[in-house]
Amino acid sequence: MAPDWNRLMEEFDGHATKLVGDVDCTAEGKPLCDANGVRGYPTLKYGDPSDLQDYQGARDFDALRKHVQDKVVPLCSPANIDLCDDAKKAEIEKFSAMANSELEALIETESAKIENAEADFKTGVEGLQAKYEQMQKDKEATIEAVKEAGLGLMKAVLKTKQ
């Protein structure tokens, strides 16, 4: 993926509204990576720098290029209020009117909902993994029991009778 990413960075180098870059999360960029939830490499993020989103698409040059062209655009935000519809402008005004402590508490509450959803998902996946492993063992035990009960001999006898 690195050659395609480097090619993409070169293509958008100096672009007025689209930035394609990389961060070394093992060195000076570690605090930035930690602050944005980077846990594995490579992790691709896009969007508003204060609210980066995870990229989930294909990782070849053409797919990455299409994503940058189509999705990496100036977004409605406090810095780009002119790009917002009336509902988003009202929401920005509501949040702007809050005291910092109140806004921080609200962010913490909403972030906790995401963390809880992630934890519930992880627990569910672990449960599914355990169930899958048990089903696999049960299947293997059944197959072994059927074979030990003479399935192979039954097939051999039937073949000789034909």
Q: Are residues 65 and 125 in the same domain?
A: no
Q: What is the pLDDT of residue 17?
A: 77
Q: What is the pLDDT of residue 137?
A: 98
Q: What is the pLDDT of residue 92?
A: 96
- Domain-located, residue 90: no
Specify the number of domains making up the chain: 2
- Domain-located, residue 36: yes
* Cα atoms found within 13 Å of the Cα of residue 129, Cβ hemisphere only: 6
Q: What is the pLDDT of residue 116?
A: 95
Q: Are residues 66 and 121 in the same domain?
A: no
Are the beta carbons of 36 and 45 closer than 8 angstroms? yes
* Residue carrying structure tokens 């989930």: 56
Q: Are residues 67 and 124 in the same domain?
A: no
Report residue 143 as tokens: 């197959």
- Domain-located, residue 33: yes
- Domain-located, residue 86: no
- Picking from 99, 91, 115, the residue whose alpha carbon sits closest to that of residue 37 is 115
Q: Are residues 52 and 112 in the same domain?
A: no
* Residue carrying structure tokens 């594995």: 40
| Spatial separation of the C-alpha atoms in residues 6 and 4, rounded to whole Å | 5
Q: What is the pLDDT of residue 89?
A: 97
Q: What is the pLDDT of residue 33?
A: 87
Quote helix, strand, coil % in the chain, to nearest 5: 65, 0, 30
Q: Are residues 13 and 61 in the same domain?
A: yes
Q: Are residues 70 and 13 in the same domain?
A: yes
- Domain-located, residue 133: yes
Q: What is the pLDDT of residue 141?
A: 97
- Domain-located, residue 118: yes
Ranges of residues in the chain with a pLDDT under 70 are: none
Query: Is this model's pTM higher than 0.85 or not?
Result: no
What is the CATH classification number for the domain harbouring 39?
3.40.30.10
Strands 53-54 and 45-46: antiparallel
Q: What is the pLDDT of residue 51?
A: 81
Q: What is the pLDDT of residue 32?
A: 87
| Boundary of a domain, candidates 21, 56, 74 | 74
The residue segments making up the domain with residue 18 are: 2-74
